[in-house]
Amino acid sequence: MYKRILVPLDASTLSERVLPIAKHLARSLQASLELLLVVAPQAEEVPEEFSALAQQDAEDYLQIRADALAKEIGSARLRYSVQLGHPASLIIEQAEAEPATLVLMSSHGYSGVQRLLLGSVAGKVVQAATTPVLLVPANARSPEGDLVRFERIIVPLDGSKLAECVLPHASGLSRALGAELILLRSYDPRFPGSTVRMHEVSKIVHDAAENYIKAKAEELKAEGLDRISYKIFRGMPAEQIADFAIETANSLTVMCTHGRQGIGRWMLGSVTNAVIHCSEEPVLVIRGVSEDS
């Protein structure tokens, strides 16, 4: 499981919204917590003393946040650092510097396709990081209006080994947090050609999907997970996943993206990408086992 939680901050209230979640995860997982603030390089025209002041302000800001957290989780498991450079690149570099690291970030409060713009720091990190990245939308809330809690973990599967790579992460979190694990299987029976036997084809596809997801649930139960269920949906996967997450209070969706290297690492799987852009609930993205570049 995760031994280190890296929380990038930018001195904004939005970025700080994940701190209560970070504290809860650090306690539940017995992980260290590290705050990171990246100061972007100043233009050449800016005097050097102003850059030094910006870095000192960042240090002071992080120390205040770290001191507040240390009172609750202890200073031994808490670190913070200020780095100078390009935010997304340095966040990824810091995340990959230690094994078993989870990056926890807030995504901005836009809705729909604006939720996670490709050019945003969070967007770049989730696109390229090889470490797990947990994105928490700014407006993610519990039904009571509090910050969302992780009481249910949603795991969409499509029948592939790649998608199944998230199961160790999801089951580990389920155990650590005492959360229910919900497996999802969405299928679309459409196919080119005649639709005369569409009903028969749909039943065959549905039965295959149900048999698969039921078998996965039984495997996890055999491993000791007792709070586990599954759902099957007919329709477009991304829409079904996002809608179910919204309907499921205090949920965390865990999804996989492929493991390509080089330029390929900047391309998320289409369903995962769509869910991240549209979901109003937290999403944990896991980089899959490497495929051909």
Q: How many domains does the chain have?
A: 2
Q: What is the mean pLDDT of the chain?
A: 84
Do residue 132 and residue 148 come from a single domain? no
Q: First-to-last CA distance in the chain? A: 27
pLDDT of residue 261 exceeding 90, the answer is no
134 and 167 belong to one structural domain: no
Tokens of 229: 């269920």
Query: In the structure encoding, which two tokens stand for residue 66, read together?
Result: 């770290």
If asked whether residues 147 and 31 sit together in one domain, one would say no
Specify the pairing of strand 32-39 against strand 78-84.
Answer: parallel
The DSSP 8-state label assigned to residue 269 in this structure reads -
211 has pLDDT over 60: yes
pLDDT, tens digit (0-9, with 9 covering 90-100), for 160-207: 888 899 999 999 999 999 999 999 998 876 655 545 566 777 788 889
Indicate if 168 and 180 belong to the same structural domain: yes
pTM of the complete model: 0.87
148 and 168 belong to one structural domain: yes
Domain containing residue 265: CATH number: 3.40.50.620
* pLDDT, average across residues 245-267: 70
pLDDT number for residue 44? 58
Kindly give the residue spans of alpha helices, DSSP state H, lying in the chain. Answer: 13-16, 19-29, 48-73, 87-95, 121-128, 161-164, 167-177, 198-222, 237-247, 270-278
- Domain match, 245 and 120 both: no
For residue 49, give its domain range. 1-139
Kindly report which listed range (53-62, 100-109, 120-129, 284-293) carries the lowest average pLDDT score. Answer: 284-293
Helix (H, G, I), strand (E, B) or coil at 42: coil
Q: Pick the most confident of 37-46, 135-144, 209-218.
A: 209-218
Same domain, residue pair 92 and 64: yes
The confidence score (pLDDT) of residue 46 equals: 60
Last residue of a domain, one of 106, 139, 172: 139
Higher pLDDT, 20 or 144: 20
Residues 133 and 215 in one domain: no
Which residues touch 218 (CB under 8 Å, ≥6 apart)? none
Does position 273 have pLDDT exceeding 90, yes or no? no
Same domain, 146 and 130: no
